[in-house]
Chains A and B, each alone.
Chain A
Amino acid sequence: MTQTAPTKQPNWFSRLAHPGVYLNWSAYLVVPLIIATIITFGIGLWFAFFNSPADYQMGETVRIMYIHVPNAWLSQMVYAVMAVSAIGSLVWRHPLADVSMKAAAPLGAAFTAIALFTGALWGRPTWGTFWEWDGRMTSTLILFLMYVGLVALWSTFNDQSKGARTIAVFTLVGAINIPIIKFSVDWWNTLHQPSIISTEGLSMPASIATPLLIMMLAFTLLFFTLHMVAMRSEILRRRANNLERRHIAQKMDVTS
């Protein structure tokens, strides 16, 4: 009465997510993504610089917003990407999820740094100060510290696949904590203007909203392009390391 269970065929998703298969199909996407990013940036920047009005209060400095807001949005979206990858890494132990998590961390740190830097540049003429301990700036700064910590954590592991699970645990602990940190910092001090894009719709004229939304799309495309390229090079780097290790092992077998 030994009845073997039918071997489960991998579904389309896990077939596509196999690192080798991923390398194949993503190769066709890199160039189109780069082109789409450049075109969207072209349109967005043209709108931002030439076809949008200067603000009646802030003047020309309002154009900093077209760089600042997309980066601030990405600083949070990238963490969401990492958190989803962390779940994939912990639950299914999927190598591609590890790679995605690792590739996203430095990108998130960079986008958050740009958001903080442009915020400082914008704050100087409008608020009269580079830095203010206001709720949202503080929580973005804390987010930046978390990204830097994660990047540092990746670099301390020799065994990347073992490190991935540990880092996934920390990424998820951070993901649970981010809303709490945001809430606590808001409670602590609030100065910032309320969210521009809320559930009630846009609280700005279309002439400013159009370039802003295009720029947000452009930066999001930029992230996905860079993320894909970083994932590809991470997979190749791991392969190269494995080959090297195997080569050394063979050498040692011959000599012993």
Chain B
Amino acid sequence: MNGFTTIIMQDIKLAIRTGGSTITLLTFYISIGVIMPIAIGPDKQLLAFLAPAIVWIAALLSTLLGLERLFVADHEDGTLLVLTHADISMPAIALAKLIAHWLITALPLILATPVLAVMLFMDWPTFVAIILALLLGSPALIALGGVGAAIAVTLKRGGVIAPILIMPLAVPILIFGISATSSLAGPGASNAALLFLSAFSLLSVAFAPFAIALALRTAAE
């Protein structure tokens, strides 16, 4: 087992043994699905129409919420400093952390989406489309959020600022994600938006580790 997989496994183990954070995140995600119908009203057709937007907003907010602690704990207990002297490069460490974080947070959210689908009266094609779009779009969310989390590491009061910084950058994910959902489920299905979403994910996953590594190295100095 090399350093890369060790970091992934360690983060997953930590998440399982300390528990809590994933459950909190899932509760938050589902809560948005509960709050929305209460605010909008129990109109079945309206909710079904708004369902993709609600699910995407819930996913965006939950991901941003979960990212806050991505690197902060490692920075506080000195793990980050040790990792800067590790045998593998900093971008590789950042990528490993991102993969682990996707497995801990984004994947459970996607697995919990059926609950939202039932509460929002989603039809079957929309449900399939949104799962597909979430699977392809969430890596970009995590990667961009990772940049925000790495920037927030050095700040003493950085908790609120990371989501503010990341939200504008997440606009393309939201646009392509929702557009992919409606165009896949609707008549005259087209996968153009889905392809753009995948392209954005690939691009952000390719670039984000380097940006994160730069920010983390500054933090460890």
Measured CB to CB, the residues of A under 8 A from B are 90, 142-143, 145-146, 148-150, 152-153, 156-158, 162-163, 165-167, 169-170, 172-174, 176-177, 180-181, 183-185, 187-188
Contact = CB atoms under 8 A, between A and B. Distances in A.
Contact of B164 (A152, A166, A167): A152
A172 B211 contact: yes
Contacts of B168: 142-143, 145-146, 149, 174, 181
Main secondary structure of the interface of A (DSSP, over half): helix
B196 interface: yes
Contacts of B169: 146, 173-174, 177, 181
A153 B115 CA distance: 37
Contacts of A188: 175, 179
B168 to A, nearest CB: 5
Interface string B167-208: 111011001100100000000000001001000100100011
B76 interface: no
Contact of A162 (B154, B196, B200, B207): B154
B151 A170 contact: yes
Nearest to B214: A169
Given A152-B164, A162-B218, A173-B147, A184 B154 contact: no
A14 to B, nearest CB: 22
A157 B155 contact: yes
B81 interface: no
A170 B165 contact: yes
Contacts of A145: 164, 167-168
Contact of B175 (A148, A150, A153, A184): A184
Interface of B: 144, 147, 150-151, 154-158, 161, 164-165, 167-169, 171-172, 175-176, 179, 193, 196, 200, 203, 207-208, 211, 214-215, 218-219, 221
B178 to A, nearest CB: 9
A157 B155 CA distance: 7
Given A165-B214, A165-B215, A169-B150, 12 more contacts: A142-B168, A153-B165, A169-B147, A169-B215, A177-B169, A177-B172, A181-B169, A181-B171, A185-B175, A187-B175, A187-B196, A188-B175
Nearest first, the 4 closest Cβ-Cβ pairs linking A and B are A184-B172, A184-B175, A165-B218, A149-B165
Contacts of A158: 156
Given A172-B211, A173-B169, A181-B169, A166 B154 contact: yes
Contacts of B211: 169-170, 172-173
A152 B158 CA distance: 10
A170 B147 CA distance: 8
10 contacts: A90-B214, A152-B164, A157-B154, A165-B215, A169-B147, A174-B169, A177-B172, A181-B168, A185-B175, A187-B175
A181 B175 CA distance: 9
Contacts of B219: 166
Contacts of B221: 162
A139 to B, nearest CB: 8
B197 to A, nearest CB: 10
